[in-house]
Amino acid sequence: MKTTKNALYGNKFVNIRENILHLGKFQIQDIISKKKTPSFVFLLDKLRANIKQISWCFSEVFPKAQGFYSMKANFFSPIIETVKNADFGAEIVGIPEFNSLKKINFPMDKIIAGGPYLPDDFLKELVKHKVGYIVVYDLEDLLRIQNEITNKNKDVSYIQKILVRFQSPKYTGRQGIALNKQNLLNLKEIVDNSPNILMKGILSHMGTRMKTLENFQKNIAFIIKTVNDLKQIARISTEIIDMGGGFPNADTLKKNQLLSILEQLKKELIIGNCAHCQIFYEPGRFLVGDIGFCLTKVYKYDEATATAFLEIGNNMIPKFMKSALRFYNASRIYEKPNKPIDFMGIIPSDQDILIKNYNFTRNIAADDIIVIANVGAYALTWSTRFPYILPSILFIDGNDIEIFHDNAVQSDFSIH
């Protein structure tokens, strides 16, 4: 049998050597010997590489740019600790995420917090710990922040920095403040009469898995309009532009392509009189999408319908996570894929189809080990866990494997 190529799909951390699939420095069988399938495996070295790549691209074009990892993509502590050690920021929307950051002493000044729902207990925590930036989706929340500082915070001299989220011009863009003259004038009045809040900039998030220059240009065009409307109508100067997230997997948006996109966006910002603004960005999927792998087995294969039934379904790899899944037959990695098959999960429903007509190995049987790539973002955070046993969760860091969640002894990984 001829050894196939290394670095599958350009991911140098996923290799075939001597007809054996490796994740990081470990053979698949060695990983499975640690914990039986199904399990999720995350590669921290790949995470570091992704952080380095996007940080370098942004700093090359925007020297003062700052990244903030979107924690909703994957909230496990080894990932957050890696983000912290890389001097990257974090973006959160609720108390559970904030508590995770506090546990590892994440720098408060590198946190962007807030969402369309800003409950009192979350707001109190943010003001108490003086997080770097609070994102406001509603003008009333500005008044709530001011009141929280004035009435309940001992340090009445404290100034809270604010980013305002405006509704993006897409057909589903309903979150945030509508960009119109009256809202801008109301914003001006509130800011002028709130001595403890300081509006530093704006946030605009356009979409997800944006791959082309055109996708990013639409967002930048709206940002430029917003910055100029704020200045002309409300007499408010913008110091920070948070262009949000929406980046695809790191293996999809290569370094040179991202660099080219950012260089063009810089030109447009210069033309739009926004070159003075500091750039923030909030990658989630880009950092963790391709660091995650699901290891599972075929429990049945139906030759008549060319359907492989796996130990795990879209309860753990939900379709709405919008990831480009890749499937490998680790038991027959030497075979060339040339047969379309369907993959179904364990939920007793015809809807539990992971993918249809996926080009796969012609030979497939029960107990074959299947590796599903690109499950690092949103799979477990958006999973529906009931009623099946949860998968084990392992982290590979160089020469070490950590069993983060052991499904044999722990009932729920979300307790971490």
For residues 347 and 314, the answer to whether their CB atoms sit within 8 Å is: yes
Residue 31 vs residues 23, 335, 364, 403, 404: alpha-carbon distances, Å: 9, 21, 21, 10, 13
What ranges in 234-313 are assigned the alpha helix state H?
255-271, 285-288
> CA 108, CA 133: separation in Å to the nearest integer?
9
Q: What is the dihedral of CA 243, 277, 83, 124, to 10 degrees?
A: -80
For residues 300 and 309, the answer to whether their CB atoms sit within 8 Å is: yes
Which residues are within 8 A (CB) of 232 and not within 5 positions of it... i.e. 6 or more apart? none
Q: How confident is the model at residue 408 (pLDDT cuts 50, 70, 90)?
A: confident
For residues 396 and 24, the answer to whether their CB atoms sit within 8 Å is: yes
Q: Where are the extended beta strands (E) located within 325-384?
A: 326-329, 337-344, 353-361, 369-373
On the question of pLDDT at 125 being above 70, the answer is: yes
| pLDDT at residue 203, as a whole number | 94
Which residues are within 8 A (CB) of 171 and not within 5 positions of it... i.e. 6 or more apart? none
Q: What is the pLDDT of residues 210-247, one digit of tens each?
A: 878 888 999 999 999 999 999 999 999 999 999 998 89
> CA 223, CA 204: separation in Å to the nearest integer?
7
Mean pLDDT of the chain: 91
Angle at 352 between CA 296 and CA 316, to 5 degrees: 50
> CA 145, CA 247: separation in Å to the nearest integer?
31
Are 8-44+290-415 and 65-283 the same fold in CATH?
A: no
On the question of pLDDT at 44 being above 80, the answer is: yes
Paired sense of beta strands 66-70 and 89-92, if any: parallel
Q: Which CATH architecture has domain 8-44+290-415?
A: Beta Barrel (2.40)
> CA 307, CA 366: separation in Å to the nearest integer?
11
Taking residues 333-343, report their average pLDDT. 93
Torsion sign across C-alpha atoms 141, 144, 150, 156? negative
CB-neighbour burial class of residue 181 (10 A; exposed 0-12, middle 13-18, buried 19+):
exposed
Q: What is the CATH code of the structural domain delimited by 65-283? A: 3.20.20.10
> CA 124, CA 152: separation in Å to the nearest integer?
9
> CA 374, CA 359: separation in Å to the nearest integer?
17
Q: What is the pLDDT of residues 91-102, one digit of tens each?
A: 999 999 999 999
| pLDDT at residue 4, as a whole number | 43
- What radius of gyration do the chain's Cα atoms show? 23
Residue whose structure tokens are 């770097």: 132
> CA 2, CA 76: separation in Å to the nearest integer?
39
Domain residue spans in the chain?
A: 8-44+290-415, 65-283
Q: The whole model's pTM is what?
A: 0.94
| pLDDT at residue 85, as a whole number | 97
| pLDDT at residue 6, as a whole number | 61
Which residues are within 8 A (CB) of 286 and not within 5 positions of it... i.e. 6 or more apart? 50, 54, 245, 247, 248, 249, 250, 253
Q: What is the dihedral of CA 17, 19, 23, 29, to 10 degrees?
A: -130
| pLDDT at residue 389, as a whole number | 78
Q: What is the pLDDT of residues 279-297, one digit of tens each?
A: 999 999 999 999 999 999 9
On the question of pLDDT at 26 being above 60, the answer is: yes
Q: What percent of the chain stands above pLDDT 70?
A: 94
On the question of pLDDT at 190 being above 90, the answer is: yes
| pLDDT at residue 153, as a whole number | 60
* CA nearest to 326, candidates 71, 45, 24, 10: 10
Paired sense of beta strands 307-310 and 337-344, if any: parallel
| pLDDT at residue 208, as a whole number | 76
Q: What is the pLDDT of residues 134-183, one digit of tens each?
A: 999 999 999 999 999 998 666 778 999 999 999 887 655 678 899 999 99
